[in-house]
A and B are shown apart, each in its own frame.
Chain A
Amino acid sequence: MTEIRLETCALSRRFGALLALQQIDFKLAVGARHALIGPNGAGKTTFINLLGGALPPSRGRVLLKGEDITKRTQAERVKLGIARTFQINRLFRGLSVLENVCISVAERVGAAPAMFYPIGRRTDVIEESMQLLEMLKLTTIAEHRVSELPYGRQRLVEIAIAIGSKPDVLLLDEPAAGVPSAESHIILDALERLPEHIAILIIEHDMDLVFRFAKRVTVMVGGAVFAEGTPREIESNSQVRAVYLGQAGHG
Chain B
Amino acid sequence: MSIEAIPVEPPTLKHAGHAAASTLMRRHRLRWWEASPWLAAVAFYFAFPDYLGFGTALLITILFALSLDLALGYAGIITLGHAAFFGAGAYTVGLLAFHGIWTEPITSLVLAALAAAAIGFASGLVLLRTQGLTLLMLTLCTMALLQEAANMAHDYTGGFDGLPSLDIAPVFGVFEFNPLYPDTQYLYTLAVLLVCFVFIRTLVYSPFGQSLTGIRENLLRMHAIGSPVRRRLVICYTISAAIAGIAGGLWAQTNAYVNLSALDLDRAATVLIILILGGYGRLYGAFLGAIAYLALEHFLARIYPSAWQLGLGLLLIFVALYARNGILGLGEDVWRRYRAGRASQ
Chains A and B directly touch (beta carbon < 8 Å): yes
Q: State whether the Cβ of B34 lies closer than 8 Å to any Cβ in chain A.
A: no
Query: Can you give 9 contacting A-B residue pairs, CB < 8 Å?
Result: A74-B226, A83-B224, A96-B24, A102-B210, A113-B207, A119-B210, A121-B6, A130-B18, A130-B20
B131, CB-defined interface residue at 8 Å: no
Whether the pair B25, A123 counts as a contact (CB closer than 8 A) is yes
**Taking the complex as formed, is A142 at the interface, i.e. its CB lies under 8 A from any CB of chain B?**
yes
**Chain A 29-52 interface 0/1 with B at a Cβ cutoff of 8 Å (1 = within):** 000000000000000000000001
Which B residues lie within 8 Å of A79 (CB)? Answer: 226
Given A99-B24, A103-B225, A127-B21, 20 new contacts (CB under 8 A):
A90-B218, A104-B225, A106-B207, A106-B210, A107-B225, A107-B226, A113-B211, A114-B206, A115-B1, A116-B4, A120-B25, A120-B28, A120-B29, A122-B207, A123-B10, A123-B13, A126-B21, A126-B25, A127-B13, A142-B18
Residues on B with beta carbons closer than 8 Å to the beta carbon of A107: 211, 225-227
State whether the Cβ of B342 lies closer than 8 Å to any Cβ in chain A: no
A41-84: CB near B (< 8 Å → 1, else 0) gives 00000000000101000000000000000000011111100011
A interface SS class? helix
- Scoring B residues 188 to 207 as 1 if CB is less than 8 Å from chain A, else 0, what string do you get? 00000000000000110111
* Interface size counted on chain A using CB atoms at 8 A: 54
Does B54 count as interface, using CB distance less than 8 angstroms? Answer: no
A161 within 8 A of B: yes
**Does chain A have a CB within 8 A of B266?**
no
Question: Pick the contact of B4 from A77, A117, A124 — CB < 8 Å?
Answer: A117
Task: Tell me the bound Cα distance from A121 to B334 in angstroms.
Answer: 31
Q: Which residues 117-171 of A have a CB within 8 angstroms of B?
A: 117-127, 130-131, 134, 139, 142-143, 161-162, 164-165
Establish whether residues A124 and B213, one from each chain, have CB atoms under 8 Å apart when the complex forms: no
Known contacts: A75-B223, A93-B217, A93-B218. The answer to whether A115 contacts B10 by CB under 8 A is no
B31 within 8 A of A: no
